[in-house]
Structures are given as C-alpha cells and as structure tokens.
Amino acid sequence: MYNSKLQTLLQQKPEIAHIFKILRHHHLPQATLCAGTIRSLVWNAQTNRHVPLMLSELDVYYRDPSESYEDFQVTQATFKQAESQYLWNLQNIALPPRHGSELHFHSTMEETLADFPETCTSVGVQCLADGTYEIIAPHGLDDLFELKIRPTANYLPGSPLHTRFEQRVKNKRWLTEWPDLQIIEE
C-alpha cells in the first residue's frame, strides 16, 4: 500500500524527475535519492506542508568503486558549482568511511540504508531506465508514512549508539517542524 503511495508522490513531483536527470547526466552509478530527502518529502505530504526540495539538502548516495577520494571531492565540487540550484549531500558508499563519518562501509545500497539510525530515514529511491522508480526500504515504509521515528536495530535503547539516535532527534528538531510525529523507542 505505502509503496504505491510513495510511487504516486514521486511521480507527482516534477522536481524528482529533474533531480534524477541531473544524476544521470553526471553518470553516478546506482544513484539513490534517500534519507532526509525522501523522509521530508513524505512527511511534508502527510502533514500538508509545501516545502520545495530546493530549500533542503538532497541526500544522494551512489556506489562507484573506481572513484578515489580525490575524484569524489571533484564530483562534490562539480555538483556544487554546476548544479548549484540544490544543496547536494553526496556520498559514495564504495569509499571507506572517513574519520568522524557516521557511515560504515557496506557493499550494497540496501545494507547502507538499513544501517541508518531511524527506520523512517532508511529509505532510498532509484530511477530506472524507463523512468519508473525503484524503492529500497529495508525496514519497510510503515513508520515513514505513519509519522513514527523508530531506531533501527543498532540504535535501540541499551546499545552504545542509542545516544546518537537521541541526539539526531533533538538536533534535527523534527518534532518542532512536524508536531504530529511520534518517537517509538522499542
């Protein structure tokens, strides 16, 4: 049910198609629009808020094992200069994580998304060659559409990473921006 609802939401946003056109132009393999971008898109739709994607950071993860860290920096700079209408947050998941990064090394996009701190953030979208969207949601879409913030397995209460989950909820001020949200810590 929620899969088709997200498909419809994506199809109704011409900006999404434009963003994927930019990503195809720059040849980012397995380019995935994910995390806060998809989360905010759904939460805004669920709460009848109209916030253009241009006003928020676009989380784009891709997997290019041939790209060095220096090449990745060039890719970031290219996007910031040539595609400056958006605030890009690019991540090449094939690169080893840098010191201080929240990312862990994973071999697939699904593993990477599954390891995000919240189930509602663990969602990504890829645009297929025919223009349709593939949704990657290792924890499902229920929490996202039901406005629930729930930690993923590594961030549950009692785990060493749970404080990071709590800090993210506080620092991102989600409950201020979307007062209908519920935190579920089980």
Domains of the chain, start order: 2-146 (3.30.460)
Q: Under a CB-based contact definition with an 8 Å cutoff, are residues 144 and 120 in contact?
A: yes
- Mean pLDDT taken over the chain: 92
Mean predicted confidence (pLDDT) in 121-128: 97
* Residue 51, pLDDT score: 83
pLDDT digit string, tens, across residues 39-86: 999 999 999 998 888 778 999 999 999 999 999 999 999 999 999 999
| Dihedral, CA of residue 115, residue 117, residue 121 and residue 125, to nearest 10 | -20
* Residue 103, pLDDT score: 53
CA angle 81, 85, 90 (to 5 degrees): 65
